[in-house]
A and B are shown apart, each in its own frame.
Chain A
Amino acid sequence: MKQTLEEILAQVEKPARYIGGEYNEAEPFDGRLNYCICFPDVYEVGMSNLGIKIVAEAIRGVKGAYVDRCFAPWPDFGEKIKENGIELYALGNKKPLKTFDMIGFSLQYEMSYTNVLYMLDLAGIPLRREDRGEDFPVIQAGGPCACNPEPMADFIDIFTIGDGEDNMRRLAELKIECKSKEEFLRRAAEEVEGVYVPALLNVVYGNDGKIKGFSPDKKIKKALCRDLDSAVYPKKFLVPNIEAVFDRAILEVMRGCYRGCRFCQAGFLYRPVRERSKENMVETAGSLICTSGFDEISLNSLSTGDYRYLRELIPAIKESLPGVHLALPSLRLDSFDGDFVQESRKSSLTFAPEAGTQRLRDVINKDVTEDEIMRGIRQAFEQGYTGIKLYFMLGLPTETDDDLKGIRDIVYKIRDVFSARPNRLRSLRISVSVSTFIPKPFTPFQWERQATREEVEAKIALLRKELPLKGVSFSWNDYALSEMEAVFARGDRRTGKVIEAAYKKGCIFDGWSNIFKTDEWYSAFKECGVKPSDYTREWGENEILPWDFIDVFIDKKFLLKERRLAYDGKVTGSCLSGCKGCGLHNVFCPKKDELSAKKGTSKRGEEDL
């Protein structure tokens, strides 16, 4: 006998993930456009995401548009609803996803791709776009991973690339105007910024299996929100039913990053830097706290220490919202100066030197010196922190064993600094976490190869030998997971069938290392005749890259120049020390006086000048 939803809810873990009704939820209605945002990860992760909140707000601004949400059901619930013939539904109106006009997936990381298929499947929607007629909703996807949409091109009708504020609103309006899916997709590709319709692009391959070209040979430019202050931002957040990963309000203080670390995709993808005004932030903070009841607010960006109004913003928020904790999760070591803390609970501080030696940090343009690292650590100890988390990468271009030993040296130096302190009440805990370098599109390292399993294992073995110290924990991630991420980060259309095959073998929630099914993934590759090494190899600088038809306004020549500088061990430095000519200046540039004002406020910028 089939079970009802109510019966299923009584049997699964954390049923409040599936019931909706969150505080601040808007009353459902049948709109002229019914849009459901799908986040291909579990409720607690998705509810913490800011991007989907902004997109929801943008679409809600369209008259008659109804926006709902859905998250990937944890496997226990997913299995139960499938067994009992219950189709995946939206949390607000509880209607099957199938009944919506448009479904938008947020692609935050490559390893959530199988979950997109999992959600479509649970919703009773055919996975491949060619199998979906007019009766099925338009399947759209956006988010950072959409910058190389090709691995998902067989499944998604329409990708939105770049900032979602304006183009999602425009897309929603257009969907209401259009009579058919075909008309909508065609017009969206022509009329809306940042739109990519895979059905309208033909990829031509050569005999060697490499890409020969694209037809039509026209670049798709990313959508760009020029002014965040005037852009939409949610005035209230849904309060998650159960504790989310981040149980707090979020202020995005700026988008983009001045730094240009050569491995960091976000640092290039979100260019140029756009800051919100202090006044806007204080007002939004007040509204978010009053309407949600959170007791913590985080100031988010890729590098919050670079936000030029930070010193004024922090006391202004504290004054207007007494008792509310401030969290600054993305502080660079060189901007941690004791006044700022990362989390309200002073348990441990997280820093990411990324590489063990100055040489390698220069290669990746991390632009932080050992003195700065130690100064930051010293200040952390003075503040009373006794736990330090350090993030490093393995397998970076030009990396040698000496660079890995440099990680050990940093740990030793931190211990020395701590030991030299008087009145130590608690012992020091250092956790060293390493992850395998993954070359990503639109970075100067987009052509680099990924280190092989053997190389990475040898590097980890070396670190394990060097780091068995009291009070130091060492963790690393699974190679297979990094390898898959590398394949799908730089994958072309042919890798899509691997995703589908892996899903059919039961791969879901691949980003969760405890669920990741290594053997099934490798067998999916084999079955599809796709070799991971074809994608983790070094790519030729003259090769056409799968994402070359997308224009994020970064000049390829600039990326190549940066690659050369990396090999020469030369730092380019932050944009604050002068325009480096990445290409964004051709489309968008802050006013000259603004830039010089920024120069004056940058510690490192002044040094560089």
Chain B
Amino acid sequence: MIVFRYTKTEGAEFISHLDTLRHLNKTFIRANIAVKTSQGFHPHMLVFMSSPIGVGLKSLAEYCTVDTDTSPEEFYTAFNAASPKGIKCVGAYYSEKNVNLASVITSAKYIIGGVNAFNAEEVLKAERFFVVNKRGEEKEVRDKIISVVPVENGIEAVLAAGNASLRPDVFASALKERYGGGHVKIIKTEAYIEGGKSVESLLKNG
């Protein structure tokens, strides 16, 4: 199996999770990467993606497991020659078993721009932090905010991902509500497994 890291930028951030899966499948066909398929009445390619990222959020750290005997080197070259704009493989690794990406990834780092400058310590010191989720419900999410650091173009935040995630756009809206700001720009730069280690560390160690 291959686990690969890919981007969603240059417009690809507007493509939904399901449509991204369709694009990955088509890319494998175009790239002539032989992907194993499921058995049964409606066979489908054995492709397993990490948890969905919201439509409109750019990412440099999406992951996907694909059941193929192609080597990581061949995969990398073939994939990038046939993938759509903005969906580019930035690393491919061999994995003996299917890494359940949706569950092993527990946090992610985002650069959030467009919120007025504020004291990041204030957020981290507070015991509670409220956001309004996409359904319009108010939620307390302090334990899902792992770190917030000011950087040149905004803040760099590590937020919970996976099963109990905090959407970065929801977080950014709450910050904007508190501190003001303009059009928010978000890019996901890293995804981490338990202990704040990179996904790659898991793969390189076998």
* A contacts, CB < 8 Å to B: 3-4, 6-7, 9-10, 14-16, 19-23, 239, 241-243, 247, 289-295, 345
What residue of chain A has the Cβ atom nearest to residue B22's Cβ?
A243
Q: How far is the CA of A243 from the CA of B28 in the complex (A)?
A: 17
Q: Are A21 and B86 in contact (CB under 8 A)?
A: yes
Q: Using known A-B contacts A241-B15, A242-B19, A291-B30, determine if residue A21 contacts B85 with beta carbons closer than 8 Å.
A: yes
Q: How far is the CB of B134 from chain A (nearest CB, A)?
A: 13
Q: Mark B180-196, 1 if CB is under 8 A from A, else 0.
A: 00010000000000000
Contacts of A7 in B (CB 8 A): 183
Contacts of B10 in A (CB 8 A): 21
17 pairs, A vs B, C-beta closer than 8 Å: A7-B183, A9-B14, A15-B55, A20-B11, A21-B11, A21-B86, A22-B84, A241-B11, A241-B14, A242-B16, A243-B22, A291-B30, A292-B26, A293-B28, A293-B29, A293-B30, A295-B25
Q: Using known A-B contacts A6-B183, A243-B22, determine if residue A293 contacts B14 with beta carbons closer than 8 Å.
A: no
Q: How far is the CB of B25 from chain A (nearest CB, A)?
A: 7
Given contacts A242-B15, A242-B16, A293-B28, 5 further A-B contacts (CB under 8 A): A15-B56, A20-B11, A239-B23, A241-B14, A295-B26
Q: Using known A-B contacts A7-B183, A9-B14, A22-B84, determine if residue A16 contacts B19 with beta carbons closer than 8 Å.
A: yes
Q: Using known A-B contacts A15-B55, A242-B19, A293-B28, determine if residue A23 contacts B85 with beta carbons closer than 8 Å.
A: yes
* Neighbour of B84 across the interface among A4, A10, A239, A295, CB < 8 A: A239
Contacts of A20 in B (CB 8 A): 11
What residue of chain B has the Cβ atom nearest to residue A293's Cβ?
B26
Contacts of A291 in B (CB 8 A): 30
Q: How far is the CA of A4 from the CA of B114 in the complex (A)?
A: 14
Q: Are A292 and B30 in contact (CB under 8 A)?
A: yes
Q: Mark B149-173, 1 if CB is under 8 A from A, else 0.
A: 0000000000000000000000000
Contacts of B183 in A (CB 8 A): 3-4, 6-7, 10
B135 within 8 A of A: no
Contacts of A15 in B (CB 8 A): 14, 55-56
B82 within 8 A of A: yes
Which 9 pairs of residues, A with B, have the shortest CB-CB distance?
A: A293-B26, A293-B29, A293-B30, A15-B14, A16-B14, A23-B84, A19-B11, A21-B11, A21-B85
B18 within 8 A of A: yes
Contacts of A241 in B (CB 8 A): 11, 14-15, 19
Instruction: Number of B interface residues at 8 Å Cβ cutoff, please give it.
Output: 23
In this complex, which of A10, A19, A22, A289 has the most chain B Cβ atoms within 10 angstroms of its Cβ? A10
Q: How far is the CA of A564 from the CA of B26 in the complex (A)?
A: 53
B7 within 8 A of A: no
Q: How far is the CB of B9 from chain A (nearest CB, A)?
A: 11
Q: How far is the CB of A90 from chain B (nearest CB, A)?
A: 15
Contacts of B26 in A (CB 8 A): 23, 239, 292-295
What residue of chain A has the Cβ atom nearest to residue B26's Cβ?
A293
Contacts of B28 in A (CB 8 A): 293
Contacts of B23 in A (CB 8 A): 23, 239
What residue of chain B has the Cβ atom nearest to residue A17's Cβ?
B14
Contacts of B30 in A (CB 8 A): 290-293
Q: How far is the CA of A241 from the CA of B18 in the complex (A)?
A: 11
What residue of chain B has the Cβ atom nearest to residue A240's Cβ?
B19
B42 within 8 A of A: yes
Q: How far is the CB of B176 from chain A (nearest CB, A)?
A: 13
In this complex, which of B14, B16, B56, B82 has the most chain A Cβ atoms within 10 angstroms of its Cβ? B14
What residue of chain A has the Cβ atom nearest to residue B45's Cβ?
A295
Q: Are A243 and B84 in contact (CB under 8 A)?
A: no
Q: Are B42 and A293 in contact (CB under 8 A)?
A: no
What residue of chain A has the Cβ atom nearest to residue B28's Cβ?
A293
Residues facing A in B1-46 (CB within 8 A) are 10-11, 14-16, 18-19, 22-23, 25-30, 42
Q: How far is the CB of B188 from chain A (nearest CB, A)?
A: 15
What residue of chain A has the Cβ atom nearest to residue B18's Cβ?
A243
Q: Using known A-B contacts A22-B84, A239-B23, A242-B15, determine if residue A9 contacts B56 with beta carbons closer than 8 Å.
A: yes
Contacts of B56 in A (CB 8 A): 9-10, 15
Q: Are B29 and A289 in contact (CB under 8 A)?
A: yes
What residue of chain A has the Cβ atom nearest to residue B42's Cβ?
A345
Q: How far is the CA of A9 from the CA of B15 in the complex (A)?
A: 12
Q: Are B14 and A295 in contact (CB under 8 A)?
A: no
Q: How far is the CB of B151 from chain A (nearest CB, A)?
A: 21
Q: How far is the CA of A445 from the CA of B56 in the complex (A)?
A: 51
Contacts of B11 in A (CB 8 A): 16, 19-21, 241
Contacts of A292 in B (CB 8 A): 26, 30
Q: How far is the CA of A239 from the CA of B86 in the complex (A)?
A: 14
Q: Are B15 and A16 in contact (CB under 8 A)?
A: yes
Q: Are B14 and A247 in contact (CB under 8 A)?
A: no
Q: How far is the CA of A22 from the CA of B15 in the complex (A)?
A: 11
Q: How far is the CB of B45 from chain A (nearest CB, A)?
A: 9
Contacts of A295 in B (CB 8 A): 25-26, 29
Q: How far is the CA of A379 from the CA of B78 in the complex (A)?
A: 43
Q: How far is the CA of A243 from the CA of B84 in the complex (A)?
A: 14
In this complex, which of B27, B82, B85 has the most chain A Cβ atoms within 10 angstroms of its Cβ? B85
Q: How far is the CB of B36 from chain A (nearest CB, A)?
A: 12
Q: How far is the CA of A443 from the CA of B85 in the complex (A)?
A: 47
Q: Are A19 and B14 in contact (CB under 8 A)?
A: yes
Residues facing A in B64-119 (CB within 8 A) are 82, 84-86
Q: How far is the CB of B12 from chain A (nearest CB, A)?
A: 8
What residue of chain A has the Cβ atom nearest to residue B43's Cβ?
A323
What residue of chain B has the Cβ atom nearest to residue A247's Cβ?
B22
Q: How far is the CA of A243 from the CA of B15 in the complex (A)?
A: 10
What residue of chain B has the Cβ atom nearest to residue A20's Cβ?
B11
Residues facing A in B128-150 (CB within 8 A) are none
Contacts of B19 in A (CB 8 A): 16, 241-243
Q: How far is the CB of A249 from chain B (nearest CB, A)?
A: 11
In this complex, which of A16, A20, A22, A294 has the most chain B Cβ atoms within 10 angstroms of its Cβ? A16
In this complex, which of A23, A289, A292 has the most chain B Cβ atoms within 10 angstroms of its Cβ? A23
Q: How far is the CA of A3 from the CA of B28 in the complex (A)?
A: 38
Q: How far is the CB of B69 from chain A (nearest CB, A)?
A: 16
Contacts of B82 in A (CB 8 A): 293
What residue of chain A has the Cβ atom nearest to residue B32's Cβ?
A290
Q: How far is the CA of A581 from the CA of B86 in the complex (A)?
A: 56
What residue of chain B has the Cβ atom nearest to residue A13's Cβ?
B55
Q: How far is the CA of A345 from the CA of B29 in the complex (A)?
A: 19
Q: Are A293 and B25 in contact (CB under 8 A)?
A: yes
Contacts of B27 in A (CB 8 A): 293
What residue of chain A has the Cβ atom nearest to residue B87's Cβ?
A23
Contacts of A6 in B (CB 8 A): 183
Residues facing A in B38-60 (CB within 8 A) are 42, 55-56
Q: How far is the CB of B15 from chain A (nearest CB, A)?
A: 5
